[in-house]
Amino acid sequence: MATNIGMMDSAYFVGRNEILTWINSRLQLNLSRVEEAASGAVQCQMIDMTYPRSVPMHKVNFDAKTEYDMIQNYKVLQEVFNKLKIDKHIEVNRLVKGRPLDNLEFLQWLKRYCDSVNGGIMNEHYDPVERRLKVGKDKNLKASRSKSLEAINLHNSASGDVAGLNRNIGLLKQFSKQGKSGVAAASSEVRALSKEIHDLKLSVDLLEKERDFYFAKLRDIEILCQTAQVENHPIALAVKKILYAADAQDSALEEAQEYITQYIDDNGETEEAENDD
């Protein structure tokens, strides 16, 4: 299982278009950007498809817009990971921010993992739309009951207090007048948010270029370390140890340093022996 894969793994070179095609075809969605999956609902259903009925989908909020609601989805996902013994820590605080790069990396890992289960063969008996609709129906039923109770209470209140009803009508008229100024304020906020989105896209593009630059550097180092003349050299082994580490762990650096220290000690002993001769 691809629970721990290093950053140099081919999984992290899968493009966003391929990721979106994978999600949309499997779950019958129409996502156009990876950050649209920031709520965690997509990830929950992808695991539910990979391990049918393993996710309590009634707890998953597909309409999550606030960070609080998104965090609840990721809590469900992390609980399922623990239950299935999937060794993957979810960086919730980063994902809910909706940053494209963070969400892309998590989706790249998810695709690699799902593809490693049953050879990536999709469950033909799984209906993603029906699974989502069932969750939606349960929520709509609760909402409908709640609205019915509100309507009954409003009717009883109006029947017993005509003066109160008149006051409500007056308030509605007042809110209507205030609505016009509210629309102008909302338009101004939309323009500000649009500018912010544009600036964020530029930042993301720069980050992706920087990431690709450093990936290329690391790839060059990897190719150099795989050269026949040096691939078994202790220094090359030390570099590859760091490159292929699954996580940013101190142990990888420590082991790499041990390779080099051992190499230096061995060479030092050899030189001393030669000098003695």
Cα(263)–Cα(235) distance, rounded to whole angstroms? Answer: 8
Examine the fold and report which residue of 76, 106, 134 is the final residue of a domain before the chain moves on. 134
- The first and second tokens of residue 106, run together, are 């998590």
User: For the chain, what is the total number of helices (H) and then of strands (E)?
Assistant: 9, 0
Residue-level pLDDT at 224: 87
Q: Is residue 180 assigned to a domain?
A: no
Cα(209)–Cα(233) distance, rounded to whole angstroms? Answer: 32
Residue-level pLDDT at 81: 95
Whether residues 213 and 102 share a domain: the answer is no
Q: Is residue 2 assigned to a domain?
A: no
Whether residues 130 and 14 share a domain: the answer is yes
Residue-level pLDDT at 84: 94
The enclosing domain of 26 has a CATH number of 1.10.418.10
Residues 175-229: tens digit of each pLDDT: 666 666 677 778 788 888 888 898 888 887 778 877 878 877 888 888 888 888 8
Residue-level pLDDT at 20: 96
Cα(169)–Cα(188) distance, rounded to whole angstroms? Answer: 29
Residues 226-275: tens digit of each pLDDT: 888 888 888 888 888 787 776 555 577 777 788 788 888 877 655 565 56
Residues 208-219: tens digit of each pLDDT: 877 878 877 888
Count the domains in the chain. 2
Q: Is residue 97 assigned to a domain?
A: yes
Residue-level pLDDT at 201: 81
The enclosing domain of 254 has a CATH number of 1.20.5
Q: With pLDDT > 70 as the criterion, what percentage of the chain qualifies?
A: 74
Residue-level pLDDT at 124: 78
Residue-level pLDDT at 203: 80
Q: Is residue 149 assigned to a domain?
A: no
Across the chain, what does the average pLDDT equal? 79
Residues 95-114: tens digit of each pLDDT: 999 999 999 999 999 999 99
Q: Is residue 234 assigned to a domain?
A: yes
Examine the fold and report which residue of 100, 134, 168 is the final residue of a domain before the chain moves on. 134
DSSP helix/strand/coil, 59: helix
DSSP letters for 139-189: HHHHHHHHHHHHHHHHHHHHHH-HHHHHHHHHHHHHHHHHHHHHHHHHHHH
Q: With pLDDT > 90 as the criterion, what percentage of the chain qualifies?
A: 36
User: What is the model's pTM?
Assistant: 0.51
Q: Is residue 192 assigned to a domain?
A: no
Q: Is residue 253 assigned to a domain?
A: yes
Q: Name the band, by pLDDT with cuts 50, 70 and 90, for residue 173.
A: low
Residues 16-70: tens digit of each pLDDT: 999 999 999 999 999 999 999 999 999 999 999 999 989 999 999 999 999 999 9
DSSP single-letter state for residue 121: -
* Pair 243, 6: CB distance under 8 Å: yes
Burial class (CB in 10 A: 0-12, 13-18, 19+), 123: middle
Whether residues 18 and 99 share a domain: the answer is yes
272, amino acid identity: E
Residue-level pLDDT at 138: 45
State which residues form the domain around 248: 205-269
Residue 15 Cα distances to 40, 179, 267, angstroms: 20, 44, 45
Cα(224)–Cα(108) distance, rounded to whole angstroms? Answer: 26
Q: Is the confidence at residue 157, as pLDDT, over 60?
A: no
Q: Is residue 185 assigned to a domain?
A: no
Whether residues 233 and 120 share a domain: the answer is no
Examine the fold and report which residue of 134, 156, 171 is the final residue of a domain before the chain moves on. 134
